[in-house]
Amino acid sequence: MFRASTVIEKEEDVTREQMIQNRVTTLTGWGQIVDANHVEVTDSAGRKKVYETENILIATGSSPRRPTNENIPFEDGLIYDSDGLFAMKKMPTSLAVVGAGIIGSEYATIFAHIGVQVHLFDSQSRILGFLDEDISNEMTRIMQQSGISIHVDSSITKYHKLPNEDGFELSTNKGEVVRVNQVLISRGRLGNVDNLGLESVGIVPNDRKQILVNENYQTNVPNIYACGDVIGFPSLASVSMYQGAYVAKHMFGHSSVPVDAEEFPIGIYTLPEIATIGPTEEALKARGVNYGVGMARFDTITRAQISGDQVGLLKILFDKQTRRVLGVHIISDKATERICPIPFVYFYREERDFTCQRLGFTNTYKIVSDKAVSMSQIYERSHKRIYDFLYKYTQNADTAMDLMQDSFLSFHKHYGEAGLSEEKSVMVLYTIARNLSINYAKKFSTTREIASDEIEFHSHNPRLETKAEYQDLEDRLYSFLGELSEEERSALLLKNVEGFQLVQIAEVLGVSVSTASRLVIRATEKVLAIAKRENLVPD
């Protein structure tokens, strides 16, 4: 739980930094709408100030729902909501999760994988009921195989606290009695709308305290917008970011195309993950669409059998007449990453026969739209170069792989819609990769892992006759990089390993071309001096 708090704090720091960089004035306090053009802010000292504005955006998020009519004794310290879970002081041996939505299912699988006996309850007929039924049923099977006891069509009628703080005895409407150490209540979330002054402008939230909006995220008051968790499903950070960007454009008269809720990819971080985009089969059936279904289990795919990644299911829904993709649903390890290329197929609406072979699921997991010069193509053409650069820099294969993935994720997050050329994108990727490796080096020490297929440094020393001796020489030469400054090391690797021109090195390092030239020369001289000191080259 400490790590979770650390990650949250880091993300908050990043957000604050982005606000500063984009010259956004931040006011700390409690905001309340006075009327359609005025907001009152009360600071921590109780001082109030009213600000005049043309537009208002409500993005206050949501909080866990605590049903008030079910006598759930949250105050006992053994029953948590999803926010209170972070204050857990003792790991339970058994846990009841009440509510099999996204959050409940995520926590159920996490605790089960660390050895906790989990009971998952839901009043509906199946878990994750909004998902495609095949996906829901497959996830049920996977959960049960991991040891989770699933109780559907079940409501908790009584919470009886056991003596000596030993947990609770739960009774259900079906006559079941289950004993557990702790309980997680995951019964949805409520919008944070209390004391916002919505009544002053005639905005009335629904029974989940969610604000109703139109396709442009406007409330019934046209200049007051709302987005994110406070407007309800799907309540995902990625979707909220899109909504916020859309609102900003709409407020100030810039054109932007509304996106249907079904066109947002949804990621669920269960173990394994679930990712989906587009309607479910049940929705298509209800609409009378003439659709077809393609399904593949990962345990029937050669690549999955080789890698050992055999738990997974892919389901593709398509229009039988036009052959265009209507929906894609995945369960697998890293499903939330594998869904990323799907929107390129989904949004282009190509009237083509997207068979499983065309999508790449015969021997590989890749799904690529051949018309989009996209992150997929940049990744395919550049990931090995970025990995090799990081490997030389960190001298650790696992670290290089992690930093390479982080580099592309960071690029996608901050530059994915910037419209950069491929050459410029690669330069930015190298800059990100270098910065990540520097930050990593400040925190962790790495172990040296030299692969047998790396570039060999040849020597004129006649004693170096065996491959082992060449390997030892290579190890020693790479170890010299640790005696260079960060900029010298980067410049030398970019010049001699990546084959970059000085102008490219300058762009990655953020220096002038003349400075880049001096760094390369200085680094080369230092390495030669060290080699002479170690008697690897003649004086």
Strand runs labelled E in 195-256: 224-226
Which CATH code for domain 263-372?
3.30.390.30
Which is nearest to 359 in space by CA: 299, 294, 408? 294
The two tokens of residue 9 are: 């704090």
* Residues of the chain with confidence (pLDDT) below 70: 1-4, 76, 303-308, 341-376, 416-419, 442-480, 536-539
Per-residue confidence (pLDDT) for residue 539, from 0 to 100: 55
Q: Which residues of 340-370 are buried (b: 16+ CB within 10 A; e: fewer)?
A: bbbbbbbeeebeeebeeeebebeeebebbbe
* DSSP secondary structure, 213-230, as one string: --TTSB-SSTTEEE-GGG
Per-residue confidence (pLDDT) for residue 389, from 0 to 100: 83
* DSSP secondary structure, 50-68, as one string: EEE-S-EEE---EEE---T
Which is nearest to 530 in space by CA: 482, 495, 492, 488? 482
3-state secondary structure of 98: strand
Report the DSSP pairing between strands 94-98 and 182-185: parallel
Task: Centre a 10 Å sphere on the Cβ of residue 460 and count the other Cβ atoms it contains.
Answer: 7
Q: How many angstroms separate the CA atoms of 528 and 536, rounded? A: 9
Q: Is residue 33 a contact partner of residue 201, using CB atoms and an 8 Å limit? A: yes
Q: Which residues contact 526 (CB under 8 A, 6 or more apart)?
A: 480, 483, 484, 488
The two tokens of residue 417 are: 């819609």
Q: Is residue 63 a contact partner of residue 190, using CB atoms and an 8 Å limit? A: yes
Q: Where are the domains of the chain?
A: 1-48, 54-258, 263-372, 376-533
Alpha-carbon separation of residue 391 from 193, 437, 484 (angstroms): 49, 10, 16
Which residue reads 């670290």 in tokens? 399
Per-residue confidence (pLDDT) for residue 220, from 0 to 100: 97
Per-residue confidence (pLDDT) for residue 373, from 0 to 100: 42
Per-residue confidence (pLDDT) for residue 459, from 0 to 100: 40
Per-residue confidence (pLDDT) for residue 441, from 0 to 100: 73
Q: How many angstroms separate the CA atoms of 329 and 278, rounded? A: 8
Residue 296 carries which side chain, given as an amino acid letter?
A: A
Which CATH code for domain 376-533?
1.20.140.160
Does the domain made of 54-258 have the CATH classification 3.50.50.60? yes
Q: How many angstroms separate the CA atoms of 345 and 348, rounded? A: 6
Q: What share of the chain is helix, strand, coil (3-state, %, to 5)?
A: 45, 20, 40
Q: How many angstroms separate the CA atoms of 446 and 396, rounded? A: 6
